[in-house]
């Protein structure tokens, strides 16, 4: 092993010590507390449908009709006046304490970006409108 390789290993090791420190909720303020996409972002419902299927369908069901693990997002309580888009961003970021249903809590989903949620919202709003939920 030459000097450059050893330096590289030490450097990578040092970086991995630093990373968790920047990640914790206790470290500084949260730059995006509402987990919102950047200004001007426009969600795409087709992209959202695919992302919904990967991330939300297991509980909220095919076509957001619900499953035995989570409620239908096509229920009228999730209309945009009662649950604004922000509710979706916050649900993913912070999770949801069971309050409307008996499925238990929704856990936070830290791997899901604000943009991903934005696309999913575009999809859910589209199928809500088609179901007369506005």
Which residues, at least 6 apart from 132, have a Cβ–Cβ distance to it below 8 Å? none
Told to check if 122 binds ligand HEC by CB under 6 A, we report: no
First-to-last alpha carbon distance for the chain, in angstroms, is 65
Give the nearest distance from C-beta 16 to ligand HEC in angstroms.
29
Please report, as residue ranges, which positions from 15 to 74 form the binding site for ligand HEC (by CB under 6 A).
Answer: 55-56, 58-60, 69-71
The tokens for 56 are 């939300």
Please report, as residue ranges, which positions from 84 to 113 form the binding site for ligand HEC (by CB under 6 A).
Answer: 87-88, 91-92, 96, 98-101, 103-104, 106, 109, 112
Which residue, 65, 79, 92, 89, is CA-closest to 125?
79
User: Which of 63, 83, 94, 114 is the binder for ligand HEC (CB under 6 A)?
Assistant: 83
Burial class (CB in 10 A: 0-12, 13-18, 19+), 2: exposed
Summarize as ranges the residues that interact with ligand HEC (CB under 6 A).
Answer: 55-56, 58-60, 69-71, 83, 87-88, 91-92, 96, 98-101, 103-104, 106, 109, 112, 117, 120
């Amino acid at each position: 092993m030459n000097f450059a390789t050893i330096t590289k290993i030490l450097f990578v090791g040092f970086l991995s010590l630093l990373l968790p420190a920047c990640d914790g909720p206790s470290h500084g303020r949260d730059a995006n507390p509402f987990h919102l996409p950047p200004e001007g972002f426009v969600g795409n419902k087709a992209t959202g449908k695919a992302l919904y299927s990967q991330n939300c369908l297991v509980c909220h069901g095919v076509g957001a009709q619900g499953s035995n693990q989570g409620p239908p997002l096509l229920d009228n309580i999730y209309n945009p006046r009662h649950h604004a888009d922000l509710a979706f961003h916050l649900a993913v970021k912070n999770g949801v304490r069971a309050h409307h249903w008996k499925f238990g809590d929704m856990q936070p989903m830290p791997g899901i970006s604000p943009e991903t949620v934005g696309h999913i919202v575009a999809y859910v709003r589209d199928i809500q409108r088609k179901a007369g939920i506005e």
